[in-house]
Chains A and B, each alone.
Chain A
Amino acid sequence: MVVLKSVRPAISCSSFGFDGDQLVPLHKVSFVNLTLPASLLSVRLSSRNNAKLSLVQATKESSTASTNDSAAVFSGENLHQIATNGKATNIVWHKSSVGKVHRQEVLQQKGCVIWITGLSGSGKSTLACALCQALYSRGKLAYILDGDNVRHGLNRDLSFKAEDRAENIRRIGEVAKLFADAGIICIASVLSPYRKDRYACRSLLPEGDFIEVFMNVPLQICEVRDPKGLYKLARAGKINGFTGIDDPYEPPLNCELELPQKGNNCASPCEMAEIVISYLEEKGYLQA
């Protein structure tokens, strides 16, 4: 395997205008210098970060941008664009030189999001803790984004009305994405009752990096457990819009894992955590 030793500075090669409503993306490309042995018969290029690679012969250095076929192109993570994005204009994507791949090498794992969804009392937080412990004992770095905990900080300004629930999920999804980018195994433990909102979070991440775990525990069992006394309050009419009582829970149609597994309703949190760990191992997340 050839290890990249140097990256030449990015060269911009596009024009842009500011007067119109649409700002034209300004693409930056980078050159990568590979020294290949003369006896090399073939070269295979691969990248883990969706970068596009083209192998061309070495060309002499030039201070002016060139668009002929002799220019090597290496784009993807190094895109630099000036964009209008929602309400904020004139924002620029800054290239960071230490990337996800580097962090994953250091941590010897791949960042991802394990999204645990289910009714209140279905065991989401319990599984999240067991999973976190199991990962830690294997020397892996994980972090739990618990819905209740996040509502103590980042999402303290949000209520439980439908639109606020959607915003709660959106923000948690965006933060989980950042954690995954940092190389961390991010365990989001959030009721997240609406399918649309969970799907929107899935779309934020590359294919495979969003692992939806459905805690499929019947309402009756959750209500019997009632770990926080909330079902009792909801039945007494003291909480309105409580999921499972007077607000819907939309179960996933295509999740990666469903727990407990069929025929094993008595699985302990540790046993369920091991099922998730096996999945992660199989898919290669527990190595760089």
Chain B
Amino acid sequence: MASQSQGVQQLLAAEKKAAERVAEARKRKARRLKQAKDEAQAEIEKFRQERDRQFKEYETKHLGSQDDIALKIKKDTVEKITAMNKQVAANKDKVIVRIMQLVKEIKPELHINAKKEM
């Protein structure tokens, strides 16, 4: 009967529409999940750039202080050596006198083993 096939057609059409609706929902879900990745990526990148900026600040600060330390050590060394030179200049003659004294001071002594033999 004509009405039978019409009914079946109506049902088939409804099924088709239903399936499309569900398929669309699935597509939306897939897009939403991709969005999650993209948005996460953007946030992560923003965070990374900020952290990197902080790091560069840190680096610059530390490199700067390194130069200061080098200068200070250099200055200290020069001071030490200058002071040493002054001291030596002041004490040198005294020292040479003492060395000469020791060199000329000869105490002829019998070797300790020789003493035992006697």
Instruction: Specify whether A and B are partners.
Output: no
Q: Which B residues are closer than 8 A to A by beta carbons? A: none
